[in-house]
Amino acid sequence: MSLVADEIITFSSVLRIAFNMLNGRNYLKRKKFRDKEKLVAVTLPFSDLAFAAGTVPVFPIRMHEFDISRYLSYLGSASSIFGWNAVSNFLSFTKNLGFEKVSKIVDDIIEDVIGTINYKYNEMYDVGIEAGISSDFCYGLKSLVGMHVTKGKNVDACLNVTIRCSAYNKYLESLKSINKAPKQIWIDIPPRNLGNSIELLTDNISNALNEFEKLTGNSITDNDLRAHFKIGNQVKRSYKNIIYDISASDFYPCNPATFSEIMALLSITFQDYNSNAVRYRDNIVSLEKEMRERIRKGVGMDVSKMPRIFVTPMFGGWEPKTHDIIYELGGRTLYADWELLKFLEEIPTAAHTNPSEEYARFLMRATETGIGCDNDKLTDSYLRMATDLNADGIIFFQLFGCHSISNCYAMLREKVRRELEIPITAITFNKIGDNVEQVKTRLGAFMEMFPKKK
Amino acid sequence: MDDSNLLSDFTFFLKEKKQEGIKIIAYLAHDNIPEELIDAAGFFPLRLIFGGSDELMDASHDYLPPSTCAFAQSCIGLFSIKPNYYKFLELVDYIIVSNHCVSDICVSEIISKYFNIPRLNFYVSYTKNENSLKYFKLELQDFRNQLEATLGKKISDEDIHNSILKFNNFKKKLLEINELETTGSEKLKLIHKSMLFGPDFLHDLENLIQKFKDTPQPVSTTSKDVLLTGCSIFINDNLIDLIEEGGGNIVFFDTWIGNHYYSQIIEDNHIDIEKDPLDLLVLKFKNNIYSDHSVPDFLKQKVSFIQKYSENYKKNKGRKLGVINHIIKFCDHISLMSSFLKDSLQEKGIQVLNLERDYSRANRGQLSTRIEAYLEMMK
Ligand code: SF4
Ligand code: SF4
């Protein structure tokens, strides 16, 4: 599908984010062995304290070598000499020359970014099962276990933040059995905001910071925290702008399948900012700019007649072919999991604020009004997000083995039908690529519900 | 195990409670709900400790996907179908939504929403440290407020103290069941009845325990002794029969309705009536160190407990002890830790059977074969 490749290479920021994601292994090795920095395993968007502590957060899959990294490393080398914009222009140029071989390489690099990541996810899933996690658990957890079995020994610590998902919390506990060496740093988020819960959570955060200090031997000041939160806030601002101002608008800077591919890449990389917050901030800020610039110039696609299909949840595992299929069926896919779960809220950084307390408030808001302590709250989050995106329909990925998010579907369907009056359907998911045909059939039937707009 | 008599007696008992104007507060089977507060408010705490069946599990599929734990599915099935012996569920006035695991939340929320039973909330932190104990107290206070709002009046500290003493003494008596010379199924019957009726059963329990002490029922020396850990064997579940038919005998129940419950006993010297009674309930929670709800030390505590118990058992009884880790299919806590528990115990020379199952009838043959093979190997 060279359409996607054609589109993506004109966004040099996307190329950079993809390169940094897939080339993580080299970067991390350099950080660990040359710069003597500490690697800290993170999952879900909980990397803030690791950054503020001066460690290198890593979503463990990034310690793997990815199949296409050889090509990307050529590009990486070229970019360090000529700069990424030049590389991006060069790629567009070579693709347009029509040399089959060059064109093929470019296609391989770009098209396969998400595919390559997902192929690795599937590999990790199999390793997880071999390592003894029951196949009854969700795709995400099986893959995470696989990541820790294969690469977990390379990290110096794991940052474990409890959430309402009991399987996830037990997976966190199991990490010290999988690899004995890494230090386990815990942050417990109280289930509800009662009494002085914020104070307790602030104290839990301070305790975690002490553990980070022991790990690095350096102290962490309030200013370190604020400095990182400021960078994080810029990332979140751009991410939100892309979600609301661009993905929910009627003119896209590229075709909707490409756009979804970019959103999927952001969703994956947002968990650890590709281990470098400043670089990630620069990339996402320029991505927003590049998108706006194209829209301003009228480069892109009028999508006003394409129904907006909100596809969620995707972070625990989803079928990545979905957005291509929806595009082929005349719709566009919107992904916004982190915003739905309130992970894109900014953290106040004014000088008079206590940054640990502000971070506690941030985590508590995500717990209370994002994922929610029960399904009533969680389903409200879906409703809110669908409304904010002005969605015409919802596809809910019901993950086999997920007892937390997937179990809310019956309640969600009822609320959506009653309050939003838009179509919603569930697609069961076990493993990437497992039942694409079934997904196609389900999506085909679902998209029939939207009259073709003239 | 046919528990129809127990359930008929219980129906009668609960109806009487209801006639006395006592409200029934139900909650799922696990181990951190402050039943003492419910009791002090003058309500009856009803622990849902009922096993499942194909029919019950199927009845839950309108609400939850089949990849939900079989116990949770069956709880919904019970409220949905209300089979003959479970008509007493119609008497339930409130259901507690709690987060022992996320299925616990989902199920109690569904029962509340779709079967029109008002809910009360009680949540517990996942870690166990100074701050989570402080948080536990906040939840206790909030729960007390919810109960008081329902009751329309304050619950006195004195009443809470009395209830704490009552349940504490009850647990101490229950602890004696472990030492009785009788089969695991007889012990389990006592545990089930006690956990269902609560301290109202204390007097009968004392008599029954005395009866067993006076006329012990020695267990066949050919049977293999087993410690049951993981998920509980609930009322109307035939698993214990399969174990006994296979030649095993459960000598200790290390589950929610067993060791997790007794481990919460508060030492007498800590019960000071001058103290805030909620602090005693915090202490009780702190004592529950084997609870699978807690991270990050559940596995460590579990392994060390089972190892010690097993060593002592061998020393005192001169017999080897097997371990059956009962995993109700799709149980987050027990299933995820099962391979780690097995590996850690086997490293210490303790043989473990990870026995995973749901409540379907079709499983029976396969379960028997696995149990027999394990017990055979235990020689
Ligand atoms: S919430 Fe669901 S998808 Fe996420 S870790 Fe838990 S079980 Fe997996
Ligand atoms: S998942 Fe396990 S702990 Fe949770 S309700 Fe089911 S049996 Fe109980």
A130 Cβ under 8 Å from any chain B Cβ: no
Whether the bond into A313 is cis, omega within 30 of 0? yes
Predicted TM-score (pTM) of this structure: 0.95
Calculate how close chain A gets to B302, using CA atoms only, in Å.
Answer: 13
Calculate how close chain B gets to A435, using CA atoms only, in Å.
Answer: 18
Structure confidence by residue, pLDDT tens digits, B316-339: 999 999 999 999 999 999 999 999
| A159 within 8 A of A40, measured Cβ to Cβ | yes
Q: How far is the centre of ligand 1, averaged over its atoms, from the C-alpha of A400 (Å)?
A: 10
- Sort A35 into a burial class: Cβ within 10 Å, 0-12 / 13-18 / 19+: exposed
Structure confidence by residue, pLDDT tens digits, A248-297: 999 999 889 889 989 999 999 999 999 999 999 999 999 999 999 999 99
| Rg, C-alpha atoms of chain B | 20
Check for a shared fold between B4-153 and B168-377: yes
Calculate how close chain A gets to B134, using CA atoms only, in Å.
Answer: 8
Q: Using CA atoms, how far apart are residues A129 and A118, in angstroms rounded to an integer? A: 17
A203 Cβ under 8 Å from any chain B Cβ: yes
**Which residues from chain A sit within 8 angstroms of residue B131, using beta carbons?**
188, 200, 203-204
Contact A177 B333 (CB under 8 A): no
Q: CATH number of the domain at B168-377, please?
A: 3.40.50.11900
HSE of B268 in the Cβ direction (CA atoms, 13 Å)? 2
Q: Using CA atoms, how far apart are residues A229 and A238, in angstroms rounded to an integer? A: 14
Q: How far is the centre of ligand 1, averaged over its atoms, from the C-alpha of A144 (Å)?
A: 11
Q: The sheet that has A183-187: what strands, in order across it?
A: A56-58, A39-41, A157-161, A183-187
Q: Using CA atoms, how far apart are residues A109 and B242, in angstroms rounded to an integer? A: 58
Structure confidence by residue, pLDDT tens digits, B54-83: 999 999 999 999 999 999 999 999 999 999
Residues in chain A, total: 454
For residue A425 the two structure tokens come to 């359907």
What b/e string do you get for A264-297 counting C-beta neighbours within 10 Å, with b at 16 or more?
Answer: bbbbbbbbbbbbbbeebbbbbbbbbebbeebbee
- pLDDT tens digits in sequence order for chain A, 454 residues long: 445 566 666 677 888 898 899 889 999 999 999 999 999 999 999 999 999 999 999 999 999 988 764 566 666 777 777 776 677 666 666 666 665 565 455 555 556 788 889 999 999 999 999 999 999 999 999 999 999 999 999 999 999 999 999 999 999 999 999 999 999 999 999 999 999 999 999 999 999 999 999 999 999 999 999 999 999 999 999 999 999 999 999 999 988 988 998 999 999 999 999 999 999 999 999 999 999 999 999 989 999 999 999 999 998 999 999 999 999 999 999 999 999 999 999 999 999 999 999 999 999 999 999 999 999 999 999 999 999 999 999 999 999 999 999 999 999 999 999 999 999 999 999 999 998 999 999 999 999 999 876 6
Q: Are strands A39-41 and A393-399 parallel, antiparallel or unpaired?
A: unpaired
- Interface TM-score (ipTM) > 0.85: yes
| Angle between helical axes of B298-317 and A166-178 (0-180°, round to 10) | 70
A372 in contact with ligand 1, CB cutoff 6 A: no
Q: Using CA atoms, how far apart are residues B64 and B62, in angstroms rounded to an integer? A: 6
For residue B337 the two structure tokens come to 């830790």
Distances, alpha carbon B304 to alpha carbons A89, A180, A327, B286, B309, in Å: 63, 17, 56, 17, 8
**Which residues from chain B sit within 8 angstroms of residue A405, using beta carbons?**
none
Structure confidence by residue, pLDDT tens digits, B81-119: 999 999 999 999 999 999 999 999 999 999 999 999 999
| A403 within 8 A of B103, measured Cβ to Cβ | yes
Query: Where along chain B do its domains lie?
Result: 4-153, 168-377
Protein residue closest via CA to atom 1 of ligand 2: B331
Question: Of chain A residues 76-115, which have a CB less than 8 A from chain B?
Answer: none
Residue type for position A287: L
Could you please state the CATH topology (level 3) that the domain comprising B4-153 is classified under.
Rossmann fold (3.40.50)
B262 CB contacts (<8 Å, ≥6 apart)?
B171, B174, B175
- Ligand 2 site residues (CB inside 6 A) read B 28, 69, 71-72, 100-101, 103-104, 231, 328, 331-334
For residue A385 the two structure tokens come to 């997000």
Distances, alpha carbon B128 to alpha carbons A173, B133, B281, in Å: 13, 7, 14
Q: Using CA atoms, how far apart are residues B49 and B28, in angstroms rounded to an integer? A: 7
Q: The sheet that has B94-98: what strands, in order across it?
A: B44-48, B24-28, B94-98, B119-122
Q: Can you name the residues that pair with B38 across neighbouring β-strands? A: none
